[in-house]
Amino acid sequence: MTEQAPRERYREQVRDEIKRHAWEQITEAGLPALSLTAIAKRMSMTVPALYRYFHGRDELITALIRDAFRSLADTVRAAADTGTDLLGLAHVIRDWAKADPQRYFLLYGTPVPGYHAPADTTAISNEVMEVLIKTGSGSAEPERPTSFHVHLESHREWVEGDAVATSALRRALSFWTRLHGVLSLELAGHFEGMKFDPGLMIDDELAELRA
């Protein structure tokens, strides 16, 4: 074992602690309350010392987004690997979102003003759509690639693509918009007092899309 390994482990431990404090701030007061200065104070660190682990607020936000997308992608993929259909995946995603609404809103809520996520975060988020496309196609492995970003690069590809792949993409996108429409309203509290089960509403919205 080299001398670098213990230092790297320590660095990752400190980064994880910083992210934990960041999530606590976000949970307590929302993303606008995120403050590296406040985190440094909680950890009895100077702000310059903390900046050795994250160079700024945007880098910390990016790390939180990467972790959240990775958690969601792994959760959805694990469920799909057990044979869960699209309707089942909707409830897997709903359960994941309800377990930590602030984490969900970091990914799918109002964009952070002035913040632009790096391309690799989009790549992780696309993994979720890839699973939905494969599940919507009714096959574990479609006959041709159905990469989400490839299909959306041109309208011509959307219209004239392989019939099976295009149908799966349409189904996945319909699933995505219907699910997040209901889920975003539910997590924001807009259904409170309406005396109905949003889970049953999701079932109704997505029933026709079942593979």
How many CB atoms are closer than 10 A to CB 115? 12
Answer for the pair 20, 37: CB distance below 8 angstroms, yes or no.
Answer: no
Answer for the pair 176, 129: CB distance below 8 angstroms, yes or no.
Answer: yes
**Do 1-55 and 65-209 have matching folds?**
no
Sign of the Cα pseudo-torsion (195, 172, 86, 69, in order):
negative
Domains of the chain by residue range? 1-55, 65-209
Check whether domain 65-209 has CATH 1.10.357.10, yes or no: yes
**pLDDT band, very low/low/confident/very high, at 4 (cuts 50, 70, 90):** low
- Average pLDDT over the chain reads 85
Query: Does the pLDDT of residue 138 top 90, yes or no?
Result: no
Class of the CATH domain delimited by 1-55 = mainly alpha
Query: Does the pLDDT of residue 121 top 80, yes or no?
Result: yes
2 is written with which tokens? 């080299």
pLDDT of residue 149: 44
Instruction: Encode pLDDT of 155-182 as tens digits.
Output: 344 444 555 456 777 888 889 999 999 9
pLDDT of residue 172: 85
Query: Does the pLDDT of residue 188 top 50, yes or no?
Result: yes
